[in-house]
């Protein structure tokens, strides 16, 4: 296999344009190299991408291949083929895998700080050389647009050498990385490119919804400020008096407040919320609203003009993804934020997620390691895992619990079962588990009750105890932390604490299967005309959920294939347990949306009742002689929807 490093110099990136027009393409194969202007770059890339014996190398390959993908669209089929056959190598993704494998992703003992992943940082780390001038304000990397259309013979020597140097360094970094075992590398590289396409597509926001959100948040802040100023928490100038806050926290915690490492009274939002003091809880609420108003609202406003294009990071320690600018995987919980994101006219959003993905991953991991899994048995038998767990907690038969499922006691126990199944596998002890239960609305469980519930859950799934024992032994052997090579994928992660290693075993499996789905869904959306997904575009990924957008008249068929692809790809990883998916169709990203079907069983668009009613009346009023909405409502009543059981 011949390795050829490439690097585009382009116009500057701007909002709405993450794959800007190229000015040149530099390349290096170790013996030769050069710079190509756009027309020649297109021709040469076609040659390289068509050659099964060539592997293209780039630092942050998602960007370079994204430029080629959008600026030279005739190359798209070859780009998909090259990625599918492991012929695109990204030194940035490889470096992340290396740092994670050695346990240096957060602190690198060689540099004494958090590692960087720029090409210059990789050169320093792996080659022990310094790339001079890379971050200068007048560096050529920011100025290549000045050379657009200029013959190479007339380029300044510095500009020519700067561009060529990046390809040369990239190839040398790749060669140095070659000694590392990098399991899952090409799956990560494929997912990285697919997520970049998510970013390039982006999502728009609705100006009416954004204005409504801003008004509601500002009104809530104004109301709260009256009481907070009256209590002296805020001064007339609008600044916060932390001494008053600390006094109130101290009193709320009966003179025994939580302290920082330096001995000061904590004033975090979590401490304020748990204080049982209405003023402090109001302060916690207003802090979230203030951040929403200053951080998110301006971004949402910008999204009404150009698409919001978040950055998707393909790889954190567990193998999961993260997101920023903004974090679409963890938007503010306040109602109305997600609902600002809308599909284009005539289009809808389709959200498809895995049911119990991490518990399915846990069951498969345990089945693989120990040859049996009672959790896996429940899933294979098609029983509801939470009801089965609730039955064990109550000491009742599964069928009886299902029959009595609407009783308050049954519902409460099922919620306890959910908290247990999602919290205990991560290695939580009774104290942390009692705190974790609060996120499921279970406020009154003390440490003793948490310990009892934990014991009952582990008695139901005893294979988890063996898993905990293995993790404990591994951490003890490593002096408190452990290095792990995943038994199923070979993914390496170093310096794991007990709880991080407990979580890692199953979180990584879910992430790995989901990344396979990310790739395959994107490939079909962009490159397979015969696919029902063709022409749709993936726009959001949230750990175990993919959201795509496309024409409403084709959405029901696309949703079916989306669910099929996601299951097929996860099945390649979780071979011992079944996996289920659920799709929802909506015009905007509703927080509480759920599947809705028509009388023929086809997925249709979910709407809040009032909006669905308005949509129906608008359609029918166009045909009514007087257009009287009140009369129409009396005649037709509310929209009839056949809703799926949830």
Q: What are 250-301's pLDDT values in tens digits?
A: 999 999 999 998 899 999 988 998 898 999 999 999 999 999 999 999 999 9
| Residue 375 shares a structural domain with residue 416 | yes
Would residue 426 count as lying in a domain?
yes
CA distances to 226, 290, 292, 344 from 222, rounded to whole Å, are 7, 11, 14, 34
Question: Comparing 523 with 179, which gets the higher pLDDT?
Answer: 523
Domain boundary, last residue among 465, 497, 529: 497
Residue 445 or residue 627, greater confidence: 445
Enumerate residues 6+ apart whose C-beta is below 8 A from 1: 53, 54, 55
Task: Identify whether 326 is preceded by a cis peptide bond (ω within 30 of 0).
Answer: yes
Name the domain boundary from 446, 467, 497: 497
Residue 196 has pLDDT above 80, yes or no: yes
Whose CA is closest to 558, among 588, 579, 528, 600? 528
Asked if the structure places residue 513 within a domain, the reply is no
* Tokens read off for 349: 């959003």
Share of the chain above pLDDT 90, in %: 86
Average pLDDT value for residue range 170-191? 95
pLDDT above 50: residue 624:
no
Measured CA to CA, the distance from residue 7 to residue 64 in angstroms comes to: 6
In this structure, the answer to whether residues 166 and 19 fall within a common structural domain is yes
pLDDT value of residue 640: 33
Q: Residues 341-377: pLDDT tens digits?
A: 999 999 999 999 999 999 999 999 999 999 999 999 9
- Which pLDDT belongs to residue 134? 58
Residue 136: the pLDDT is 64
pLDDT band at 444 (very low <50, low <70, confident <90, very high): confident
Could you tell me the pLDDT band of residue 181, with boundaries at 50, 70 and 90? confident
Q: What are the structure tokens assigned to 132, written together?
A: 């001079």
Give the residue-averaged pLDDT of 452-479. 96
153 pLDDT higher than 70:
yes
Give a yes or no: residue 328 inside a domain.
no
**CATH number, residue 177:** 3.30.420.10
* pLDDT, tens digit, 9 for 90 and up, residues 79-104: 999 999 999 999 999 999 999 999 99
Lowest mean pLDDT segment, chosen from 146-160, 273-287, 369-383, 433-447? 433-447
Which of 285, 287, 279 is CA-nearest to residue 244?
Answer: 279
Q: Name the residue with higher pLDDT: 639 or 37.
A: 37
| pLDDT band (50, 70, 90) for residue 137 | low
- Residue 31 shares a structural domain with residue 178: yes
Query: How high is the mean pLDDT of the chain?
Result: 92
In terms of Cα–Cα distance, which of 392, 203, 225 is closest to 309? 203
Rounded Cα distance, 261 and 201, in Å: 44
Looking from the CA of 457 toward its CB, the CA atoms found within 13 Å total 27
- Domain check: are 31 and 139 in the same one? yes
In-domain check, residue 571: no
Q: What is the pLDDT of residue 375?
A: 98
Query: How many other CB atoms are found less than 10 A from the CB of residue 494?
Result: 18
Is 178 found in the same domain as 213?
A: no
431 shares its domain with 492: yes
Whether residue 106 is contained in a domain is answered as yes
Q: Where are the alpha helices (DSSP H) in 182-206?
A: 185-201
Structural domains in the chain (count): 4
- Mode of pairing for the β-strands spanning 603-606 and 580-586: parallel
pLDDT at 645: 33
Residue 153 and residue 220 in one domain: no
Phi and psi, residue 453, nearest 5°:
-65, -40
Q: Are residues 123 and 223 in the same domain?
A: no
Across 133-154, average pLDDT: 84
Domain around 258: 207-303
**Cβ partners under 8 Å of residue 43, min gap 6:** none
392-416 average pLDDT score: 95
Which of 497, 532, 563 is where one domain is finished? 497
Q: Is the pLDDT of residue 615 over 70?
A: no
The CA–CA distances, whole Å, from 496 to 319, 423, 507, 599 equal 13, 18, 14, 51
Backbone angles phi, psi at 340, to 5 degrees: -70, -25
Distances (CA, A) of 216 to 108, 223, 533, 611, 646: 45, 11, 38, 19, 30
Which residue bears the tokens 């020597």? 157
Is 346 a domain residue?
no
Higher pLDDT among residues 631 and 230, named by residue = 230
In this prediction, residue 440 carries a pLDDT of 86
Based on the fold, state whether residues 374 and 276 are members of the same structural domain.
no
- Check whether 617 has a pLDDT greater than 50: no
Residue 149 lies in a domain: yes
pLDDT for 159 equals 94
One domain for residues 467 and 420 = yes
Fill in the DSSP letter of residue 124: I
Residue 551 has pLDDT above 70, yes or no: yes
CB neighbours of residue 61 within 10 Å: 25
Report whether pLDDT(108) > 60. Answer: yes
Residues 150 and 240 in one domain: no
Q: pLDDT, tens digit, for every residue of 564-610?
A: 999 999 999 999 999 999 999 999 999 899 999 999 999 999 998 75
Residue 636 reports pLDDT greater than 80: no
Percent of the chain at pLDDT above 70?
93
Whether 91 and 174 have beta carbons less than 8 Å apart is answered as: yes
* Cβ–Cβ under 8 Å, residues 388 and 421: no
In sequence order, which residues have a C-beta less than 8 Å from that of residue 84 and are 6 or more positions away?
Answer: 190, 523
Q: What is the pLDDT, as a whole number, of residue 643?
A: 35
State the pairing for strand pair 54-58/33-36.
unpaired
Residues 243 and 171 in one domain: no
135 confidence band (pLDDT: 50, 70, 90): low
Band of residue 441 on the pLDDT scale cut at 50, 70, 90: confident
Asked if residue 130 is part of any domain, the answer here is yes
Q: 296-327, pLDDT tens digit by residue? A: 999 999 999 999 999 999 999 999 999 999 99
Q: Which residues pair with 643 in a beta bridge?
A: 596
Short-list 326, 296, 330, 300, CA closest to 311: 326
Q: What is the mean pLDDT of residues 440-459?
A: 90
Q: What is the pLDDT of residue 620?
A: 46
């Amino acid at each position: 296999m011949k390795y050829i490093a490439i690097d585009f110099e382009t116009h500057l990136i701007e909002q709405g344009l993450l794959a800007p027009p190229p000015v040149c393409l530099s390349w290096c194969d170790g013996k030769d190299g050069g710079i190509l202007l756009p027309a020649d770059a297109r021709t040469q890339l076609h040659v390289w991408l068509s050659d099964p014996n060539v592997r293209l190398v780039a630092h942050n390959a998602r960007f370079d291949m994204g430029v080629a993908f959008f600026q030279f669209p005739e190359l798209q089929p070859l780009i998909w083929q090259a990625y599918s056959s492991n012929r695109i190598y990204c030194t940035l993704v490889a470096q992340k895998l290396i740092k994670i494998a050695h346990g240096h992703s957060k602190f690198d003992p060689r540099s004494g700080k958090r590692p960087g992943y720029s090409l210059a940082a990789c050169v320093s780390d792996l080659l022990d050389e310094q790339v001079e001038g890379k971050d200068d304000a007048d560096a050529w990397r920011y100025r290549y647009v000045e050379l657009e259309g200029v013959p190479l013979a007339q380029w300044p020597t510095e500009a020519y050498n700067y561009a060529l140097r990046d390809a040369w360094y990239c190839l040398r970094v790749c060669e140095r990385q070659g000694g590392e075992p990098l399991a899952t590398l090409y799956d990560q590289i494929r997912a990285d490119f697919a997520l970049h396409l998510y970013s390039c597509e982006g999502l728009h926001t609705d100006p009416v919804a954004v204005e409504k959100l801003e008004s509601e948040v500002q009104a809530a802040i104004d109301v709260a400020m009256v009481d907070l100023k009256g209590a002296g928490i805020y001064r007339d100038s609008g600044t916060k008096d932390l001494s008053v806050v600390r006094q109130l926290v101290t009193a709320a915690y009966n003179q025994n407040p939580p302290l920082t490492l330096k001995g000061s009274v904590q004033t975090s939002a979590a401490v304020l919320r748990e204080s049982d003091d209405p003023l402090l809880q109001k302060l916690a609420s207003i802090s979230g609203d203030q951040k929403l108003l200053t951080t998110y609202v301006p971004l949402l406003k910008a999204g009404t003009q150009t698409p919001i294009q978040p950055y998707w990071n393909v790889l954190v320690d567990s193998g999961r993804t993260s997101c920023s600018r903004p974090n679409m995987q963890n938007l503010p919980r306040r109602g109305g934020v997600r609902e600002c994101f809308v599909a284009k006219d005539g289009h809808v959003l389709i959200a498809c997620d895995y049911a119990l993905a991490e518990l399915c991953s846990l069951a498969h991991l345990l089945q693989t390691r120990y040859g049996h899994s009672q959790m896996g048995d429940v899933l294979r038998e098609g029983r509801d895992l939470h009801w089965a767990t609730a039955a064990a907690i109550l000491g009742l038969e599964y069928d009886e619990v299902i029959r009595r499922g609407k009783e308050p006691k049954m519902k409460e126990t099922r919620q306890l079962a959910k908290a247990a199944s999602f919290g205990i596998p991560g290695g939580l002890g009774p104290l942390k588990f009692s705190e974790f239960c609060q996120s499921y609305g279970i406020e009154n469980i003390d440490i003793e009750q948490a310990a009892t519930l934990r014991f009952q859950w582990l008695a139901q799934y005893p294979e988890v105890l063996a898993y905990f024992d293995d993790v404990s032994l591994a951490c003890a052997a490593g002096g408190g932390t452990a290095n792990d090579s995943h038994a199923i994928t070979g993914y390496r992660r170093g310096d794991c604490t007990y709880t991080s290693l407990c979580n890692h075993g199953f979180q990584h499996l879910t992430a790995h299967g989901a990344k396979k789905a990310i790739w395959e869904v994107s490939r079909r959306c962009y490159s397979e005309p015969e696919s029902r997904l063709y022409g749709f575009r993936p726009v959001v990924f949230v750990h175990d959920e993919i959201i795509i957008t496309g024409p409403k008249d084709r959405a029901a068929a696309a949703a079916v294939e989306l669910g099929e692809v996601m299951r097929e790809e996860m099945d390649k990883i979780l071979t011992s347990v079944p996996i289920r998916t659920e799709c929802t169709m909506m015009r905007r990203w509703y927080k509480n949306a759920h599947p809705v079907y028509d009388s023929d069983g086809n997925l249709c668009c979910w709407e809040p009742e009032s909006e669905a009613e308005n949509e129906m009346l608008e359609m029918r009023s166009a045909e009514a002689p007087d257009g009287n909405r009140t009369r129409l409502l009396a005649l037709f009543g509310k929209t009839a929807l056949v809703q799926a059981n949830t």
